[in-house]
Amino acid sequence: GLSADVDAGGISGDSDDDIHSAEIGDDEGSSYDMDGASDADSESSDAEPPIYLSSPAAYDYASDSDGDADVGPSAFDNLYSISPGSSQESLFNLPALSLDLGSSNSTPQDPVAPEESPDVQGNNHEIAGSATPLQPQPHPEASSDVPPPPTHEPEPPKVLPDALRAFREWVLSHSSTGDLTVDAANSFLKTLDFCLEKDLLRCGTETNPEHRLPLTLETLQRHAKVQADLVDIFAVCPDFSCQTLRRLASMSPDRPYVCKKCGKAITRRKITRRRARKPLDHHVPILQYTYCPIVEQLKEILSRPGIWKAIDEHRKHLKREGMGPDTLEDIQHGEIWLNLKKDGELFFGDTDNIGFILMCDWFQPNSRQGAPSYSTGVISLCIANLPPHLRARPENKIVVGVIPGPHEPNVDTINNFLEPMVQELLSLWDKGVAIDDPDNGIPRDICAALVACACDSPAARKLGGFPGTGGTYPCTACWCSHKELHIFDQKFPKRTRREHKRAAKAYSKLPNKAQRQKFLTMKFEDSKPGGYRPSILLNLPYWNPEKMVIIDPMHCLFLGLVDWQFHTVWVEMKHLRPEKELAELQKMVQSTLRPRHCGRPPNGLGTSSAGSLTADPLRSLITIDLPLVIPILWDNVDIRSIDQRAHEEWARRKQIQEKKQAEARKGDKITRAATKARHMKESNNTPTPQIPRKRPRKSKDIEVATISDAGDFSDAEVLANATRIQEDDANERGFLSWRLEDDEGVLLLASAMKLLGSRTVTKGGIEKGQDFLIKYLEKCTKLRGASRIHPNHHMSTHIAKQLLRYGPMHQIWTYSGERLNYTLKNTNNNRHGGGEREKTFAISFHRRRASITRLTNIAVDSNDPLTEWASYMLTLGHSDQRGTVASETSESLDINENVNLHKRRPRKVMRLKPHHFDALADTLGLKHPELSFRRSVREHGSDPVLSSEVRPMREIILNGRVFSMASLCDSIVKAQTFESGRTVERVGEIIDIWEHTSLYHSGASGEERLTQTHKFALVRWYKASPIFLPRPVHLWFEEFPHLDIEIHEPEEYLDQEAVIPINNIICHCARMNATIGKDPVWLTIGLERE
């Protein structure tokens, strides 16, 4: 049971399991108060404040015989509940927390820290958490200088003129994003007030005080009720190895506190000067953690107009007729979503239950040069029920907490910051919550579950309880050791939840860090657990970390495999040399025209001027540039050149040398084992002490002699080899490693990325992509050696199974988490330490979301004069952006409409040219044979005459991608057209986009008259090039035709332009200027999105 004794030093128990038991039997329950009360009213209070322990012993997951049984709730569920009632609004009148620790006579006292010298801050009115009322009701004996908590009476709503309402929302919106500083906002408000008062706008003097805006941003935010009270502050032990949490609401500001676990002070004395009053002497946390309750944020997001409608329509869209059973286009098609059960029933069946995706990442908030190292962490949740384009937007994400710097928590203390979230997730799983639907006013009862943890590799291992990538068993899905990373045709034993729970319990009982490190290097066995760390997420009864901790495709594939291939292999090993191959590569890359959703690689690729490439440019490189450039560069190599022959000779020697060294190591190991066995036998199984011997130094002459014996080298060659091996290794690497297999290898990798990274995947496509990936990895092992294979190479082999569990890559990759980091990083803050900066990040984020909610409410109200203006404000920041994240958030809001108008400007109706009109009529007849019309009045019949007038359009959105006639990058397409009685695919440019409306006859009798509108594109097709002999052409057209690479003559087009329906467009294409042999060409590659 939970038995603990409270003393002046903290909490001690009879065993490690006493502090925090994850499983409490029916006969071990305790009568704890669930109200989350404060014990700050009296020093002699019987209440024991809630704390979060960082010791691994605090987590007791399962007994040895637990099997796969669900883990029970944490013992701290009984200490308090994380709920809106314990957050900002109700911190002043908290009931006393009663905690029975088994002794009715014991009245534990909170340990009091020694007095410290106060930190005096002049004219500063802030207290920890003063932005919102965080302090409990003061003790009756407290100093009379402490003012009583203010009581806020509801103010009657003010009816502002529409113009002032627009100004108010504009200031609130731009100040929440950081585009408008506090000083700028105050200056604007005062200027506006001055203009209204002095009638400088020539609209009459405004004398009504109700028709005025406040003069400061702080007052404006308070009147607009966007003061962001969705934060809950915890005091954190400043000891990095402890970091125990204690809720600030349970602490009195009148006295100091120390950590219950380590005894270090967690508060400091502070004197706040107040105007015309006596300075306030109080105690504030040394370090604080800002936690944001999940339920309140979930209510705010789902109560926004249109959100429930988007969720319902997205779910209906995913279950539409004609959807193939093997097609996966959303996380809701994955095995985890479809098979998760609660009480024997499907959790995500015909219910409104919510699925969360957990993300955690750290970023550097200091942007100025020379700033000290500082790392801030943000824990967030994505609502997986939302359509992807809404899910990725920051205002639809739940910020769970902002972890204070300057350092990241270690692998054991990270659980302290996660435990409040786990408590809420348990409540949402067991009890659920009712949330109103603003569209019909009917509440919806929902439960919620955490379905995935999507983080980069270090954070995933911290949260999931796995060893690091440098450990003996670095994979989070199987028991593949570091020595076996290069084996791709073998299935390794899988990790299981049962193993993890047992090993976590054993890890918690280890007394020191050295034993824990050794524990992580061991493979799990029933008799000897190992290889895991504790994770507070195991308290969730449905959580399976081996399946639900994601191998992030963005970090594993783009920042892992692609970056390794480009930088480590080609650049660092001098396959691509500066001023030579790299210069040619850069020239071709910069000549490439790519659509706006593709990231553009920077100038100076492969050099220090380009810096470290991010995921977006690397993704663009592997899907567009490298499949086109590398085969051409590799084909230009003269295999008879001196450099090439020299490198081949060096590579041969290097291979023989590595083989000899491996055999020598193996022989030495066998010899040492035999010698040890002989000595043991001679000394009657008593090991003799080993005398350390100095390791003999190997000279390069010996290596040369060893190498020269293994080949058919002449004496002259041996002498030349000896001289060359003595050269600096950097010079040896300078010889070009032109591998004919390298061009095939990069095409294999590009093929795998295209099939596995598609927006809609099929089980057959996943299997083909996995085959391409395995072939690429085996080729890497063959060309580079097993010693150069990294954990990312192995973990990428689990991506295919992960797609079956969660659907396409874009459903779970961490681009949206990086976008949230960028949003918080650009928040204006005071750069204060102690967690104050992180609190500013959280409050500013909530203010931004509240501002978006207010604008949304205005935009959906058709009777509001500001509807059009609010709609415009909501579109700011979502247009004309480049890259993956921008394209994720700028997709069509109507998920059921395949084609959606985008930024359409009213234009005059234009009359088509005769040959364009004939082409449009031909296309209509082929595409819609059920429609009857006449081309001119001179034709006989009663059918309506086809209109020759169209309305030009600037751009359209098709399948979430922008196609524009105004931008050449967005106008290069691959489309279907009808030629010579058959359908063919061609590449061309969109010249114009039309909307055509006309009257037709339809129906079986042909007498039904109806008006229909269709959209067409005027396209001119590229002319194919007759180059077919070089090796790149053979690779593109014969071995890898699925990459959709085509060769065209520059500035050459087919004679006749084509009019095609918009739905005939297949995808965007990227176009590169290149030279094959001596012939300049245009190379295009299709960027297909199914």
CB 107 within 8 A of CB 46: yes
Residue 940 in any domain: the answer is yes
Other CB atoms within a 10 A radius of the CB of residue 180 amount to 19
Do residue 743 and residue 764 come from a single domain?
A: yes
Structure tokens at 151: 């009581």
Q: For 479-499, what is each residue's pLDDT tens digit?
A: 999 999 999 988 899 999 999
Q: What is the 3-state secondary structure (H, E, C) of 490-534?
A: CCCCECCHHHHHHHHHHHHCCCCHHHHHHHHCCCCCCCCCCCCCC
Residue 422 resides in a domain: no
Residue 226 within a domain? no
> What range defines the domain where residue 491 resides?
466-533
At residue 330, the pLDDT reads 94
Residue 169 lies in a domain: no
Would you say residue 513 lies in a domain? Answer: yes
The verdict on 726 and 750 lying in the same domain is no
**pLDDT above 90 as % of the chain:** 43
Mean pLDDT calculated for residue range 138-166: 56
Using the 3D structure, point to which of 533, 568, 584 is the last residue of a domain.
533
- Going through 417-570 in order, the beta strands assigned E by DSSP cover 433-436, 443-446, 448-453
**Which helix (H) or strand (E) is 234 found in, with range?**
strand 232-236
Residues 524 and 581 in one domain: no
Q: Contact at 8 Å (CB) between 569 and 575?
A: yes
Contact 187, 217 (CB under 8 A): no
Query: Residue 836 has which token pair?
Result: 């104050």
pLDDT average, residue stretch 19-29:
36
Whether the predicted pLDDT of 131 surpasses 70: no
3-state secondary structure 1063-1078: HHEEEEEEEEEEEECC
Give domain status of residue 441, yes or no.
Answer: no
Share above pLDDT 70 across residues of the chain, in percent, rounded to a whole number: 72
The reported pLDDT for the residue numbered 951 is 94
Q: Give the tokens for residue 258.
A: 């120390």
Model confidence band, residue 740 (pLDDT cutoffs 50, 70, 90): low
Report d(CA 390, CA 388) in Å as an integer: 5
pLDDT value at residue 31:
35
Mean pLDDT, rounded, for 1016-1028? 92
| Domain final position from 806, 838, 853 | 806
Predicted pLDDT at 439: 82
The four Cα atoms 720, 721, 722, 725 give a dihedral, to 10 degrees, of 130
Most confident of the ranges 144-153, 223-232, 826-835, 1021-1030? 1021-1030
Residue 35 pLDDT > 90: no
Residue 419 token pair: 């435990």
- SS3 (DSSP) at 400: strand
Residues 716 and 760 placed together within one structural domain of the fold = no
Q: Which pLDDT score is estimated for 369?
A: 66
Over 86-106, what HEC string results?
HCHHHCCCCCCCCCCCCCCCC
The pLDDT of residue 774:
96
**Structural domain contains residue 868:** no
Residue 814: pLDDT band (50, 70, 90) is confident
Amino acid at site 835: G
Q: What pLDDT is attached to residue 218? A: 87
Q: Would you say residue 283 has pLDDT above 70?
A: yes
Greatest Cα-to-Cα distance within the chain, rounded to the nearest angstrom = 117
Closest C-alpha among 497, 498, 579 to residue 546: 497
Residue 368 binned pLDDT confidence (cut-offs 50, 70, 90): low
Question: Is 731's pLDDT higher than 90?
Answer: no
Residues 630 and 509 in one domain: no
- Is residue 1048 predicted with pLDDT exceeding 60? yes
If asked whether residues 727 and 744 sit together in one domain, one would say no
Shared-domain flag, residues 951 and 975: yes
Tokens of 284: 């504030």
Token pair belonging to 690 = 């080993």
Q: State the Cα angle at 799 between 794 and 802, rounded to 5°.
A: 135
Give dist(CA 1061, CA 1063) in Å, integer.
Answer: 5
Same domain, 503 and 589: no
- Residue of 897, 986, 61 whose CA lies nearest to 543: 61
Look at residues 286, 311, 339 and tell me which one is the last residue of a structural domain: 286
**Mean pLDDT of the 331-336 span:** 95
Distance CA 858, CA 851 (A): 11
Task: Give the mean pLDDT of 594-611.
Answer: 83
- At residue 75, the pLDDT reads 36
**Band of residue 540 on the pLDDT scale cut at 50, 70, 90:** very high
Domain-embedded: residue 660: yes
Structure-block tokens of residue 857: 């409410």
Give dist(CA 934, CA 945) in Å, integer: 5
Q: Which residues contact 622 (CB under 8 A, 6 or more apart)?
A: 558, 562, 746, 749, 750, 753
Question: How far is 130 from 132, CA to CA, in rounded Å?
Answer: 5
Over range 859-876, report the average pLDDT.
88
pLDDT at 827: 80
DSSP summary character for residue 199: T
Q: In whole angstroms, what is the distance from residue 607 CA to residue 586 CA? A: 11
Please report the pLDDT score of residue 275 as a whole number. Answer: 75
Q: Which of 365-369, 479-483, 784-788, 1079-1083 has the lowest mean pLDDT?
A: 365-369
Residue 751 sits at φ, ψ, to 5 deg, of -65, -40
Name which residue leads in pLDDT, 212 or 427: 427
Domain total for the chain?
A: 5
In the prediction, which pLDDT does 102 show? 38
Query: What are the pLDDT digits (tens) for 764-804?
Result: 999 999 999 999 999 999 888 888 899 999 999 999 999 99
Assess whether 955 and 1051 both reside in one domain: yes
Shared domain for 519 and 608, answered yes or no, is no
| Pair 726, 747 in one domain | no
Q: Report pLDDT for 415.
A: 95
pLDDT confidence tier of residue 608, bands split at 50, 70 and 90? confident
**Co-location of 958 and 1073 in the same domain:** yes
Strand, helix or coil at 345?
strand
pLDDT band for 226, please (50, 70, 90 cuts).
low
Closest CA to 318 of 813, 808, 799: 808
The answer to whether the beta carbons of residues 297 and 356 sit under 8 Å apart is no
